[in-house]
Structure 1
Amino acid sequence: MADQDAIDQLLAQAGVSLGVDSRRLRTAVALLGDGRWWTLADLIRETATSRRTMEALLRELPLEHSGDRVRIPADQTRRYNNGQLAVISDPRDAPDALDRLENLIAKAPRGRHTLDHVAATAETVLRRAILLGTRFWLPGARLLCVGDHDLTSLAVRMVHPEVEVMVADIDERILGYIDDQNLGVHTRWADLRLGLPSSARGWADLAITDPPYTPEGIGLFAARAAEGLRDRDQGRILLAYGASERTPMLALKVQRALSDLNLLNEAIFPDFNRYHGAEAIGSAADLYVLRPTTKTWPAIAARLDRLTTAIYTQGPQAVEASATGLHGIEAVEAFAPGLFAGDWPRELLPKVPRTRLATLLAKPYAAAPDRVAIAVPAGLEAAVPRLLLATRARHARVLLAGPPGDLPALAPVLSPVYDLTADGPVLDAVRLPLPDGGAARIVRRVLDGAHGKVANLWREGLTEAAGLTKKQARAAVEEAAPWAADMTALELPLHRLAELPAAVSRTLT
């Protein structure tokens, strides 16, 4: 039996953690196998583990005794060897990673003030990766980065390549930049105000986030991070937050937002994060280690039910920004929609059914109406291509806060499905006829089924269009687009949506 398999079996028999929180127990096994004699009290103190847990572990180990001291016999130490415990403990021990991160951060897309972006230093993101390795057991672990303008995902993959990492972010530029580095990070587009990507829910053992520093932003990002955890007992959330020494009440409001989610403050590392900018808070922020409790999950549901989209400190979605009304609403009345999506006046066509934008993205609307009117407030424009793909309508009319300035960029991505036209703040999307066959038909199948998994729809199209077996189709998709596994079209970053037609064509040749 392999060493780690033996230790996993041992921990399971002892009824203790097998997850990311098992590092302290694996350390205890390593100490007992290093040839020295240990008392129970010494082991407890050395590993900071409770007596009850340590006693459960010792009952399962093959031990030899000398008075009140124990150790693993010499002929058993290889079986319980824990070599993977050795990790980098200081950024100076990884100079190559630090140099590379400094270069990557310097070349990364510039921050957007409307998203409260401030870049962390290279040493900070490397220290985050190091902390993960020294505090948690990472082999086989999954890390979800809830937003990643700081490129923490890349630092983790450099230092801990055994960790599977996913990034969920609203900024298309960041997602493309991370993919360009080819470090094996999974990227997902997400506006967290509208939901966590379906493939990220219940996926991770650990989550890390550096959210907008408002109580609303902290509460939302922490809730989404918790939604991403698969290990509800041992999972952890690492969260950066900083405030000026002059504003303790603001920090208290943020801590109350975390307390409202029933998250335990397991540790707070003061001034752990350092930034290029953010001088109002001393260019620094604390790092919180949060642990969910059994009362966290109902609190999250309640928090998301009263969701507000104003979470930032600047821009149209700032907490203190004044709400603006809908312009061009007369164009929607004449449109005669069968469904309203978004925040529409109650007096407008009151008999027409309504749904939230988040609901539209989460699941297909049951009735599949012929015409859908979508209200998109300022600051949520990045969701437009996903909302259009999610409607399944023959004709969708989107009412924006202003003219769609990025229409030329959207048109190629949506061209397999829609003909787009704009008139001021009104964007019309008319669904095109189905293509006759070939790659275009498969692409259309994937995008028309935007709530379904891309790889599944793609494979089905290949078996019909090219006569491939299911096994052949699976292999073709994996080779052409390894990024497509377990994703829906609604989660694809725009650069992946743009690549889709060419990738599908490759699978037909």
Structure 2
Amino acid sequence: MELRELVGAAGVDGRRLRHVLTLLCDGRWWTLGDLVRETATSRRTIEELLRAVELERNGERFRIPLAHTPEYQDLLAMAPGPEDPVGHLVPHYRTVLERLEALIAKAPRGRHTLDHVAATPDTVLRRALLLGARFWLPGSRLLCVGDHDLTSLAVRMVHPEVEVTVVDIDDRILAYLDEQDLGVRTRWADLRLGLPGSVREHDLAITDPPYTPEGIGLFVARGLEGLKADGRVLLAYGASERTPALALKVQNALSSLNLSYEAIYPDFNRYFGAEAIGSAADLYILRPTTKTGPAVAARLESVGTAIYTQGPQSVEAETGHQAIELGDLEPDLLVGEWPKALPQPRVKLGTWLAKPYLGKQGAVAIAVPAGLEAALPRLVLAAQSAHVRLYLPEPLHSRGPLEALAPLCEIDVRGAVVDVTRSTPDDPAGRIAHRILSRGHGKMANAWREALIAESAGALTKNEARALIRHAAPWADDLTPLEAPLHRLTTLPAAIDASLP
């Protein structure tokens, strides 16, 4: 298509194309990715424009030859775009931005099965600045519902008076956040299965979830679950200018939660990647209403596991329950999705993790769907029974995260079946770890204190035991084994050793 015809056909949305042309004519060399991110225009749209102009190239970079730029002057967008609400503050935080650049460069690489796409350091800083520009933050509490972008670190650097908690399914991210020692509280959670019980009554929540209606609806609902009644949810969501129907589906998912839209900042977030949506996303500020609570409860009653755009838990993936044979096990309880013909009582995975199941069961069979491998140690920790068998969709080639449960149980991996049998170590540190891990839903510090006193034959007082624990593991006060990031469980034996008088 000829250039003027292409720009004319875009109508009022032609400003995007004019912006791209303006950059191509400014004398600088551009890569396709830089153009996408700078203009917040989808890769496909920019590629159409590039086919309609003559370019000169320098490796992977290109521009319109300076001698030809006068031919395009009548098509350029000379007026500036919408003003960034906090862009004028960024120069005052140059040191913070440089530190964020280094932290983001060293952070664990994104996992495509979790729809990870990294926001730019500038975006992460501006999120923190916008929070301070719009809300009174001293004494406030912020919940990051997933934090691959490290927004929590930016907030703690810019607003150290804010208490920040991160919930995330990726144990690598939680360990990295703790390594920075900036006072961020970390909690493990698969939001499809529930929000940690200690994560409540926050003033603000921020999330950059999977960009599907299912993902947006779930992450925002969990953020609302962790808020006070008058809190706010900040949501990053972007869609291509070519797919308004998809944006409508997502906004319908938000509307079903009965939220008020206080603000939408267009193209506020920029990313390294996500070129199909212009490497950009809007920032929504959402406020709950009196009708939000019941809507959230209804939404969370129908949570599915397929919420991502890629991988075994994508919304496009083949769903349906795996065929499971119990083999020689005669369980007293079934956890997860099982054939209806089986006679045993059953409970949903989310219910199993949320609270101790009534009574100790002789044997428990747990069906683990594809994509929930990170939940394996937590599914075991939720049990009160002596024998748990996990049925996986694929063979488990290593014990991996289950190694952290060594003080609690013996683990036998047989392909896609894992048998877990309770056992008690015979050394003091092992016995203490066993007691802590046996109470998956209880606070680690409480069980730890009781175990220390018991091991000392009553020589320690409660206050003395508490002091030893706080010195060895200050993170354990209000943390339960089920909520604990994997690195906390893995290093628990060493921390217990340090706490022994």
Q: Please state whether the residue corresponding to 1:257 is helix, strand or coil.
A: helix
Q: CA deviation at 1:411?
A: 4.3
Task: Work out whether 1:105 is the aligned partner of 2:98.
Answer: no
Q: Which amino acid aligns with 2:469?
A: V
Aligned to 2:300: 304
RMSD: 1.4
Q: CA deviation at 1:437?
A: 5.6
Alpha carbons of structure 1 residues 325 and 305: separation in structure 2 relative to 1, 3 Å: closer
Matches within 5 A, 1:67-106: 90-106=89-105
Deviations 1:279-310 (A, max 9, x none): 00000000000001111111011001111111
Matches within 5 A, 1:448-487: 448-466=438-456, 467-487=459-479
Distance 1:465 1:108 in 2: 40
- Whether the 8 Å contact between 1:453 and 1:486 is mirrored in structure 2 is yes
Deviations 1:388-410 (A, max 9, x none): 11112211111101011341x23
Alpha carbons of structure 1 residues 358 and 320: separation in structure 2 relative to 1, 3 Å: same
Q: CA deviation at 1:422?
A: 1.5
Give me the TM-score of the superposition, normalised by structure 2.
0.81
Q: Tell me which of 428, 441, 456 is aligned to 2:419.
A: 428
Aligned to 2:338: 344
Q: Which runs of structure 1 show a deviation greater than 3 angstroms over 4 or more consecutive aligned residues?
A: none
Q: Tell me which of 415, 438, 446 is aligned to 2:406.
A: 415
Deviations 1:74-93 (A, max 9, x none): xxxxxxxxxxxxx9961211
Aligned to 1:253: 249
Q: CA deviation at 1:103?
A: 0.8
Q: Please state whether the residue corresponding to 1:489 is helix, strand or coil.
A: coil
Distance 1:312 1:120 in 2: 18
- Whether the 8 Å contact between 1:437 and 1:465 is mirrored in structure 2 is no
Deviations 1:458-480 (A, max 9, x none): 11112222231111111111111
- Whether the 8 Å contact between 2:380 and 2:388 is mirrored in structure 1 is yes
Alpha carbons of structure 1 residues 447 and 129: separation in structure 2 relative to 1, 3 Å: same
Q: Which amino acid aligns with 1:453?
A: K
Task: Work out whether 1:189 is the aligned partner of 2:188.
Answer: yes
Q: Please state whether the residue corresponding to 1:391 is helix, strand or coil.
A: coil
Q: Tell me which of 377, 390, 395 is aligned to 2:369.
A: 377
Q: Which amino acid aligns with 1:399?
A: Y
- Whether the 8 Å contact between 1:91 and 1:127 is mirrored in structure 2 is yes
Aligned to 1:358: 350
Q: Please state whether the residue corresponding to 2:198 is helix, strand or coil.
A: helix
Distance 1:88 1:228 in 2: 30
- Whether the 8 Å contact between 2:397 and 2:415 is mirrored in structure 1 is no
**What runs of 5+ residues in structure 2 fail to find an aligned partner?**
1-85
Task: Work out whether 1:495 is the aligned partner of 2:487.
Answer: yes
Share of identical aligned residues, percent? Answer: 64
- Whether the 8 Å contact between 1:144 and 1:225 is mirrored in structure 2 is yes
Deviations 1:218-250 (A, max 9, x none): 000000001111x212x1110000000011111
Distance 1:97 1:334 in 2: 59
Distance 2:495 2:87 in 1: 39
Q: Please state whether the residue corresponding to 2:460 is helix, strand or coil.
A: coil
Aligned to 1:232: 229
Aligned to 2:31: none
Task: Work out whether 1:334 is the aligned partner of 2:331.
Answer: no
Deviations 1:152-211 (A, max 9, x none): 0000011011111110000011111111111111111100000011111x2311100000
Q: Tell me which of 190, 202, 205 is aligned to 1:204.
A: 202
Aligned to 1:444: 434
- Whether the 8 Å contact between 2:152 and 2:184 is mirrored in structure 1 is yes
Q: CA deviation at 1:325?
A: 4.0
Alpha carbons of structure 1 residues 385 and 249: separation in structure 2 relative to 1, 3 Å: same
Aligned to 1:36: none
- Whether the 8 Å contact between 2:221 and 2:296 is mirrored in structure 1 is yes
- Whether the 8 Å contact between 1:89 and 1:134 is mirrored in structure 2 is no
- Whether the 8 Å contact between 1:141 and 1:164 is mirrored in structure 2 is yes
Distance 1:396 1:238 in 2: 40
Aligned to 1:149: 148
Distance 1:424 1:279 in 2: 39
Distance 1:366 1:157 in 2: 40
Q: Which amino acid aligns with 1:461?
A: A
Q: Which amino acid aligns with 1:91?
A: V
Distance 1:507 1:89 in 2: 49
- Whether the 8 Å contact between 1:89 and 1:130 is mirrored in structure 2 is no
Q: Please state whether the residue corresponding to 2:382 is helix, strand or coil.
A: helix
Deviations 1:440-473 (A, max 9, x none): 1111111001110111111111222223111111
Q: CA deviation at 1:507?
A: 1.0
